[in-house]
Structure formats: C-alpha cells, structure tokens
Amino acid sequence: MSVTLGAHAGTCLQSDHRARNHLWYFRTMVTEPPPSLLRAGAGTTAPHAPIAPQPSLAARHARALYRPVPPVGYDDEGHPESDSATVESDTHEDVRAYAVRALRIRYAARPAFYAAADMGLLFERGNPAAVMAPDLLVALGAGRRARTSYKLWQEPVPDLVMELLSPKTWRRDVETKPGLYEALGVREFWLFDPVGKLPCPINGWHLDVGGAYVPVPALPDGGCRSAVLGLDLLARGDGFRFRDPATGEFLPDHAETAAELRTAQARVAELEAHVAELQLRGES
C-alpha cells in the first residue's frame, strides 16, 4: 500500500486541528512493483521467471467504482449509459448546473471544450463495471457533441474532474477515488464539500511531473486556482463560484445571467425609444 496525499502547506488544513484526524489527508491505492522488480530475474534466483499478470485498473480500484442504480440502460457494447440514480440534494443539482453552464458560456468560443455533469466515465472496454460518474468532467480537447457516456478508448483523458461530497458517499470520494483518477492521468482532481466533512470546502490536486497528485496551493483569500481552467474556485454560500483572476469578476450563475440579459434588453429598448423620439422631432 502507498499512502500519500499531503495537506496543503500554508492553508487552512494546517491551522484546523480536525485535519490531523481526517482520512481524506491520504489516498489509498495498490502500488505496482517498480519496473526493476518486474524485469526477469529481479530479486529471484530464476533468471527467466514468468511475470504474474497484473489485475486490471478497475480491479485494483474496485471500491472507487460507480455502481449504477437499476434499472440501468446499456449501449450496444454492453456498457452502462443511464441509470435511475436520484440527485443527492438541491445543492448538488444547483452546483452541477452552475459549473457546467458557467464553463460552457466561458469557453463558448472553443469548439474543442467539453464539460458535463454526472457523465458516465468508462475506462475499460468490455468491462461494464469499469465506470465512474464524476459530478463535473472537463476535457479541453474532446469537442462539443452529444454523448450518452465518455469512453476513454474513444476520447482523450479528462483534464479535470470534481466530486461533490454527500453524507452517503463522502468517504469514497476522499479515500478511494483520488487514486483511480490519478492512475487514469486526470490532470486535476477537485473535491467540493457542502456538508462540512473536511476542514476546507474546496480542495484540489494536480499531477506532478512524476504523475502523482500534489495539492493545489490555497490563494490568500481562501480559494484555489485551477491551471486547467485558468479560473479561481471560491466557496460562496452553499456552493462555489468561478472567478476570472484577470478581472476579479465571478462567472455568473443562471439567475444572474438572466438578470443581466433583462437589464441589457431594457437598456436596448430605452435607446431605441430615444432614437425614435429624435427621429420624430427631426420630421416635425
């Protein structure tokens, strides 16, 4: 077993006494023997000893896998593409909706940008059990098109995933999922905690040059910056917001966007009425 995933140096994790007792400090994953030990004869007396087959990624991270809720819909290859799971809470639904809509609007000019919520992430062809369902999935080069699932043998590895903690699943989110996402090569892994299980509501990790997750450092105001998105993440109320570090402005949610649209439409109508009035004066 390899147990690592250290705390954010200089962040609230060190200042909060609860952090010392939280299992989420660690990722627990089966570590394969280093390549030197897998070479023929390494550490044995038989120079050509057969190498035992390694278990699949899904087998090594079985506790992290998503378990579809019956009835389950399957595609033509036998992989799950829909199930009957219900939303954990209104907060989960609101946060997912905000994240996906805000990012799609932000990167609307990038046709290769893809963001989805609760999309089945399938990573072993022919193994219907090898599935995850992150609350947020972002792939910078996947392209915008309709999907019923995201298959890694057809698509690029996601650049970012986020899991939203709930009272039922938070231990799996913090203890078992990081190791699988790391093994898949997901560049950034984020946890958002709206239920108060962690010392900090927003926690992020990114792959280092060796392919291991290291913490994303905290910003002075308590948020964290995503290198993948080029945005800051800050807790706000029951959810979180993306912030443009260049302008300091938050990406609006659906209600705010609608309010801004109504304001803009009212301003346009006002200007049109003013122009019409000036035209009437000129004709008289």
Q: What is the full per-residue pLDDT of the chain (284 aa) written as tens digits? A: 333 444 443 344 433 433 333 433 334 333 444 333 333 344 444 556 777 788 999 999 999 999 999 999 999 999 999 999 988 899 999 999 999 999 999 999 999 999 999 999 999 999 999 999 999 999 999 999 999 999 999 999 999 999 999 999 999 999 999 999 999 999 999 999 999 999 999 999 999 999 999 999 999 988 999 999 999 999 999 999 999 999 999 999 855 554 444 444 556 656 776 676 777 777 76
- 40 domain-assigned: no
Question: Are the C-beta atoms of residues 100 and 117 closer than 8 Å to each other?
Answer: yes
The total domain count for the chain is 2
Cα 272 to Cα 53, 110, 220, 258: the distances in Å are 73, 33, 46, 21
The answer to whether the peptide bond before residue 71 is cis (omega within 30 degrees of 0) is: yes
Q: Give the per-residue pLDDT at 265.
A: 55
Q: Do both 241 and 154 map to the same domain?
A: yes
Q: Do both 279 and 181 map to the same domain?
A: no
Cα 252 to Cα 19, 134, 155, 162, 238: the distances in Å are 32, 23, 30, 19, 15
Q: Nearest to residue 13, comparing CAs of 26, 1, 25?
A: 25
Q: Do both 200 and 283 map to the same domain?
A: no
Q: Do both 111 and 232 map to the same domain?
A: yes
- pTM beyond cutoff 0.85: no
List the domain range (segments joined by +) for residue 156: 2-33+52-251
CA atoms within 13 A on the CB side of 5: 25
- 46 domain-assigned: no
Q: Do both 279 and 148 map to the same domain?
A: no
Q: Do both 108 and 186 map to the same domain?
A: yes
Crossing angle for the helix pair 90-106 and 254-283, to the nearest 10 degrees: 50
Q: Do both 28 and 116 map to the same domain?
A: yes
How many other C-beta atoms lie within 10 A of the C-beta of residue 83? 17
Q: Do both 111 and 178 map to the same domain?
A: yes
Question: Are the C-beta atoms of residues 15 and 222 closer than 8 Å to each other?
Answer: no
234, β-bridge pairs: 241
- 17 domain-assigned: yes
Q: Nearest to residue 214, comparing CAs of 182, 248, 243, 241?
A: 182
* Alpha carbons 143 and 141: distance in angstroms, whole number: 6
Q: Do both 87 and 225 map to the same domain?
A: yes
Q: Do both 16 and 106 map to the same domain?
A: yes
Q: DSSP label at 212? A: -
- 189 domain-assigned: yes
- 78 domain-assigned: yes
Q: Do both 278 and 213 map to the same domain?
A: no
Tokens of 283: 């004709």
- 41 domain-assigned: no
- 184 domain-assigned: yes
- 38 domain-assigned: no
Q: Three-state DSSP class for 267? A: helix
Tokens of 108: 């609307």
Element (H, E) at 163: strand 160-164
- What CATH number corresponds to the domain at position 193? 3.90.1570.10
Q: Do both 142 and 281 map to the same domain?
A: no
Q: Give the per-residue pLDDT at 270.
A: 67
